[in-house]
Amino acid sequence: MHFLKIPKDRVGVLIGKKGEVKQTIEDRTGVILDIDSGTGDVTLDPEKAKDPVMILKVTDIVKAIARGYSPERAYKLFEENMYLREFDIREYTGKNPKHIRRLRARLIGSKGKTRRIIEELSNTEISIFGNTIFIIGGSLELGIAEIAVDMLLSGSEHATVYRFLEGKRRDLKLSRMDSIILK
């Protein structure tokens, strides 16, 4: 058994209309979800799991939904080689709410521009929720997005981060082309 606690206002999203989201997760993995809508407690029972790794995938999917991802975006974690990475803004600022808000705003950017650029150039999905930042992506893409987020949280200028992302995007395209040619 695995236990998670999610925000009460995200319980409805995890359950879904007529239990669709919960049912989809259970059907695809065999992991049974017991969700207490009053407390936000989620128990994962892996007894009927199709694969032992599924408990880890379901844990990440539940965390992703709890931290602001739509179920459709969180379902990307069902794919092989897709991972979830978490940052805690407080590791960069301490507990001062004013500093946390400032860094959160730096990551989001004006009208979501910075977050959108990081997502597009690294081919990842980013959610900024409370004091946390979650990133969903493949191993290479995730590493690139992690560095970009770390750069911003550490005080790098936006232009520097964008140049880094554009360079890494070119590198990824070249490495993909090389792998296609070598096949």
Q: Are residues 88 and 127 in the same domain?
A: yes
Q: Are residues 56 and 102 in the same domain?
A: no
Q: Are residues 165 and 91 in the same domain?
A: yes
pLDDT tens per residue across span 156-170: 999 999 999 999 988
Q: Please, is 118 exposed, middle or buried when counting C-beta atoms within 10 Å of its C-beta (0-12, 13-18, 19+)? A: buried
pTM of the prediction?
Answer: 0.86
CATH of the domain at 66: 3.30.1370.10
pLDDT tens per residue across span 81-133: 999 999 999 999 888 999 999 999 999 999 999 999 999 999 999 999 889 99
| Measured distance CA(180)–CA(14) in Å, rounded | 39
Q: Are residues 65 and 96 in the same domain?
A: no
Closest CA to 75 of 7, 140, 133, 28: 28
Closest CA to 153 of 93, 113, 75: 93
Q: Are residues 155 and 87 in the same domain?
A: yes
Q: Which domain holds residue 70?
A: 2-78
The count of domains in the chain is 2
| Measured distance CA(85)–CA(23) in Å, rounded | 25
Q: Are residues 63 and 87 in the same domain?
A: no
Q: Among 56, 78, 100, where does a domain finish? A: 78
Q: Are residues 89 and 174 in the same domain?
A: yes
Q: Are residues 128 and 176 in the same domain?
A: yes
State the DSSP code for 42: E
